[in-house]
Structure 1
Amino acid sequence: MTTGTYSNAYTPPVTRWKEHEKIIFRVIFIYFLVQVIPLDWKFYRQLFAISWLHLQYADIFNIAHYTPALLSGTTSYADWAIFLGVALAGAFIWTIVEKNKQHPANYDALYYWLRALLRYRLAIALLAYGFIKFFPLQSPYPSLSNLNTPYGDFTEWKLFSLTLGIVPGYESFLGLVEIIAALLLLYRKTTTLGAFIVLAFTGNVFMSNLAYGGGENVYSLFLVLIALFLFVHDVPQLTRLLAQGRPAAPVRYRYSFTHAWQRNARLAAKGLVILLFIVVYGVQTYAAAHRAPYQYPADAGLAGAQGLYNVREFRINNQVLPYSDIDPVRWQDVVLEKWNTLSIRSNRPVIIDSTNTDRIPANNSLRTFELHGAAARHYYSYVADTAKHLLVLQNRNPHYKGEQLLLHYERPDSATIILTGVNENKAAVYVVLERVNKKYLLEEVARKGRRRAIKR
């Protein structure tokens, strides 16, 4: 390795844009513009539907999570192929038009603005995810129904999410990494460091989505591509410094804002991003973590009924059905959550809802995290008429729309619930539920701590 003195006077040589570099840049420029700038009318419908005087963190997250989708409800790689086709066609037209111009476009300025746009787009995406991890909202603690579901009845993605949910400290650490990377991206001088963190962190998120069947592999790869574009800017200088041991200085092009309004507009735009996506969003996610985590419904369940219940007696059309692990009609156990969810375990097949893309629904009926990726149990939301002692149960799985149970309930004591009414097939049912005083290892370890080493 050669040694030498670093000269502050060193500046990288000024490079001219070669023709093939211009063509490649035109394709990249148009491709990212189509991906980043909302051209979908549905985005603006959603934007104008927001009550800005009563802004919720869900509104901010859904804005930040926007990606254009042409062929379905979510962005797919097929959409990317269409965007690339548009970029190639646009670059071809741009090349022909520019050949007939005496003064070509200022590619340094266009490159500057594209980097600025992508820096903020990537930072906003990281902040949106960072805060719902830092205040553990994205992967919550398992519900009581999940704790009473056999391990093998979960999909890989659900197991990954539940595993993350039982270690909120680690989830918060992951969120902190994303927030730090986002803050670095908001400043030009630290962009390369922020992009490097994203490549390592979000690249791992992308691989996890592929490995566990997550629904955000397209979106996470999109963020990785943005980070890669930003990081490549300083690769020659990093190679010169770290690999060759030669002095290097960052390549900087600073756009000249000639008018005061331009400088003020730049500061106002940056201030708006910081106010909306850091201050307002951060405060609201903190409040939500302590008040109403979005993955579970906010409506309260039947008072004092939370728990796991064995089905002591089960009758259908006045015929007693004995306990059976293979009977698709006879219930095995029932769980009532502290919110208005009742889940029934039986041998009746469950079509798994694998909708695991990230959204923050404001409507309780759309908060279906507890049943995503889970078999063995049917999940119902319910409305309790405490005057008539009536429960109206609605299956929350989108594959069972319209499935409803009408059940009257009696509570002869604090540990027993008697249900009578009709099931999803309009057959008469009579069910006696008996609460199980069950202890959960996760809660015991959290309460007492592990005192002994695990036996080998």
Structure 2
Amino acid sequence: MSKILELNSQNEWSNTEKTIFKFFGIYFFLQVLPLDLRFFKHLFSTNWFQIQYRDIFYLARYSPTFTGDDSFFNWLIIILLAAIGTFLWDKTYTKKINYDKLYYWLRVLVRYRLAIGVIAYGFLKYFPIQAPFPSISNLNTNYGDFTAWKLFSLGLGVVPNYQSFLGLVEIVAGLLLLNRKTTTISTLIILPFAGNVAISNIAYEGGEYVYAFYLVALALYLFAFDAIRLFNLLSLERPTVPNRFQPDFDGKWKQYRLVLKTVFILFFVVLYGSKTYAGYKHHGYHFPKEKGIENTSGLYNVSEFRWNNQTLPYSKTDSIRWQNVVFEKWNTLSIKLNKPVIIEHLKSEEIYQADSNRIYEFAGSQGRHYYGYDFDSTESILLLKNRNKNHVSDQFKLSFKRLNDSTIVLSGLSAGKDSIYAVLNKINKKYLTIEAKKSGRRNALKL
């Protein structure tokens, strides 16, 4: 049977080095390999004949959880398991171990696990769908009505080219991890990148900081292999010895290695990249897929408003009177009025298939109420339902009448049987972000 030959003889490890390796070896082994049923449930529920990029993304984003939530408490559990494992290893296993070879294979596992993680997020940015361009409703929401996280996401969404650049950086860093010789270079890219993501999530109250630190921890473990050598060479300007262990694959091992690496690249780079591009071409995963009423999208001023047959004048403080309405290109209608909104939050990056779960457009914001609608074109009836799970009783059944290209009349009843009548006049509003996107940054904006 083929085996792996070492070019260099095994180096001597001190007892302290062995103990440290055992602890971190067990720790990262448990962090890298799937341990809980959540991973296998997703693995076996995936339709592999019609696989989507969301399926690969969720496999790539896996990290072990014991509490049901992605928190640092899971790390504490793994630390305890690693400590117990180290103690039992010293007490029960007495055979001679080639620590150089064991360290090499552990680094292989960590390298490929880290590569999967950064490449998965890299393609979501390279095809700029992780932070989509703001919706018309977002562009007509007051700055102070957004949470810090939503402002960060919207700020990234208005610069898709920069977002693509960030994604390219992640993809390149992930590909560099696939070669042992370029691993350290990759970690020097990933550490500041993922570290910045982690700190940004803390600063802007995002929900991905635990996973970002998870990637940082993996990168630190890989960087530690060359850290002392780099310090001696660059800082102390001392002679530095080469790597202690360099594998040489012979026979079938060389073929197996090539096949496994090829399969990895085809699945996590080629297939995932092409599926993500297809998702980008179908408008991503944040906004609903269902199309809205044709030739209706835009901002509308509510020039006349009646509630229970009583005319209400325009007011920014009235909790009933609509101020303006937005029809999106998809089946969302948002209304601005002075009625409290219980804010929904997206705790982590989620790629939902069902439109009912796609809450990005209103998550992290208030000031507007967002309604999904069904439109009966034969009867010209709109059925509106508030998409915020905290306001599910907020519903309307309204007749839809288009007087001309810029005027729409909505009339009908609320879920509480209150009558409503609203005249909507379209505003031909231009947006700096959209005009800049059309004309290019170097051209002057003409409004």
User: What range describes the TM-score normalised by the shorter chain of this pair?
Assistant: over 0.9
One-letter amino acid of the counterpart of residue 375, structure 1: Q
1:92 aligns with 2:87: yes
C-alpha RMSD of matched pairs (Å) = 2.1
1:123 aligns with 115
Deviations 1:78-102 (A, max 9, x none): 221122122222222222212xx2x
Gap change, CA 1:415 and 1:24, over 3 Å in 2: same
Please give the alpha-carbon distance, in whole angstroms, between the structure 2 residues aligned to 1:112 and 1:425: 67
> By how many angstroms is 1:258 displaced?
6.4
1:5 aligns with none
2:60 aligns with 64
**Secondary structure of the residue that 2:137 maps to in structure 1?**
helix
Is the contact made by 2:409 and 2:421 (CA closer than 8 Å) also made in structure 1?
yes
**Secondary structure of the residue that 1:418 maps to in structure 2?**
strand
1:114 aligns with 2:113: no
> By how many angstroms is 1:13 displaced?
10
2:266 aligns with 275
**Alignment of structure 1 residues 257-296 onto 2, 5 Å:** 260=252, 262-296=253-287
2:372 aligns with 381
Please give the alpha-carbon distance, in whole angstroms, between the structure 1 residues aligned to 2:417 and 2:346: 29
**Alignment of structure 1 residues 330-345 onto 2, 5 Å:** 330-345=321-336
**Secondary structure of the residue that 2:49 maps to in structure 1?**
helix
1:148 aligns with 140
1:29 aligns with 25
> By how many angstroms is 1:249 displaced?
4.3
Gap change, CA 1:28 and 1:404, over 3 Å in 2: farther
> By how many angstroms is 1:321 displaced?
1.9
Please give the alpha-carbon distance, in whole angstroms, between the structure 1 residues aligned to 2:11 and 2:387: 60
> By how many angstroms is 1:297 displaced?
1.4
1:348 aligns with 2:344: no
Is the contact made by 1:12 and 1:248 (CA closer than 8 Å) also made in structure 2?
no
Gap change, CA 1:249 and 1:298, over 3 Å in 2: farther
**Alignment of structure 1 residues 148-297 onto 2, 5 Å:** 148-255=140-247, 260=252, 262-297=253-288
Please give the alpha-carbon distance, in whole angstroms, between the structure 1 residues aligned to 2:184 and 2:403: 66
1:48 aligns with 2:39: no
Q: Aligned to 2:434, which of 423, 438, 443? A: 443
**Secondary structure of the residue that 1:142 maps to in structure 2?**
coil
Deviations 1:197-223 (A, max 9, x none): 101111111111111111100000000
**Secondary structure of the residue that 2:302 maps to in structure 1?**
strand
1:79 aligns with 2:58: no
Gap change, CA 1:383 and 1:116, over 3 Å in 2: same
**Secondary structure of the residue that 2:97 maps to in structure 1?**
coil
> By how many angstroms is 1:380 displaced?
1.5
**Secondary structure of the residue that 2:43 maps to in structure 1?**
helix
Is the contact made by 1:356 and 1:372 (CA closer than 8 Å) also made in structure 2?
no
Q: Aligned to 2:96, which of 88, 91, 104? A: 104
One-letter amino acid of the counterpart of residue 344, structure 1: I
- TM-score by length of structure 2 reads 0.92
Please give the alpha-carbon distance, in whole angstroms, between the structure 2 residues aligned to 1:213 and 1:409: 40
**Secondary structure of the residue that 2:306 maps to in structure 1?**
strand
Q: Aligned to 1:313, which of 282, 304, 307? A: 304
Please give the alpha-carbon distance, in whole angstroms, between the structure 2 residues aligned to 1:251 and 1:214: 39
**Alignment of structure 1 residues 127-142 onto 2, 5 Å:** 127-142=119-134
**Secondary structure of the residue that 1:312 maps to in structure 2?**
strand
Is the contact made by 1:234 and 1:250 (CA closer than 8 Å) also made in structure 2?
no
- State percent identity of aligned pairs: 48
Deviations 1:409-433 (A, max 9, x none): 1112221222222325442222221
**Secondary structure of the residue that 1:361 maps to in structure 2?**
coil
Name which of structure 1's ranges 278-287 and 174-183 shifts more when overlaid on structure 2: 278-287
One-letter amino acid of the counterpart of residue 152, structure 1: G
Please give the alpha-carbon distance, in whole angstroms, between the structure 1 residues aligned to 2:34 and 2:385: 37
**Secondary structure of the residue that 2:303 maps to in structure 1?**
strand
- TM-score by length of structure 1 reads 0.91
Please give the alpha-carbon distance, in whole angstroms, between the structure 2 residues aligned to 1:398 and 1:257: 57
Gap change, CA 1:45 and 1:246, over 3 Å in 2: same
One-letter amino acid of the counterpart of residue 24, structure 2: I
Deviations 1:333-376 (A, max 9, x none): 11110011111111111111121411211222222211121111
> By how many angstroms is 1:121 displaced?
0.6
One-letter amino acid of the counterpart of residue 81, structure 1: L
Gap change, CA 1:298 and 1:263, over 3 Å in 2: same
> By how many angstroms is 1:399 displaced?
2.5
Structure 2 unaligned residues grouped into runs of 5+: 1-6
Deviations 1:316-347 (A, max 9, x none): 22222222111112211111100111111111
Alignment size in residue pairs: 438
> By how many angstroms is 1:403 displaced?
4.0
1:431 aligns with 422
1:362 aligns with 353
Is the contact made by 2:11 and 2:244 (CA closer than 8 Å) also made in structure 1?
no
2:315 aligns with 324
Name which of structure 1's ranges 420-429 and 121-130 shifts more when overlaid on structure 2: 420-429
Is the contact made by 1:195 and 1:227 (CA closer than 8 Å) also made in structure 2?
yes
Is the contact made by 2:8 and 2:245 (CA closer than 8 Å) also made in structure 1?
no
> By how many angstroms is 1:16 displaced?
2.3
Please give the alpha-carbon distance, in whole angstroms, between the structure 2 residues aligned to 1:268 and 1:446: 44
Please give the alpha-carbon distance, in whole angstroms, between the structure 1 residues aligned to 2:72 and 2:238: 41
Deviations 1:380-401 (A, max 9, x none): 2111111121222222223334
1:8 aligns with none
Is the contact made by 2:343 and 2:364 (CA closer than 8 Å) also made in structure 1?
yes
Please give the alpha-carbon distance, in whole angstroms, between the structure 2 residues aligned to 1:418 and 1:112: 70
**Secondary structure of the residue that 2:361 maps to in structure 1?**
helix
Is the contact made by 1:12 and 1:251 (CA closer than 8 Å) also made in structure 2?
no
Please give the alpha-carbon distance, in whole angstroms, between the structure 1 residues aligned to 2:160 and 2:383: 34
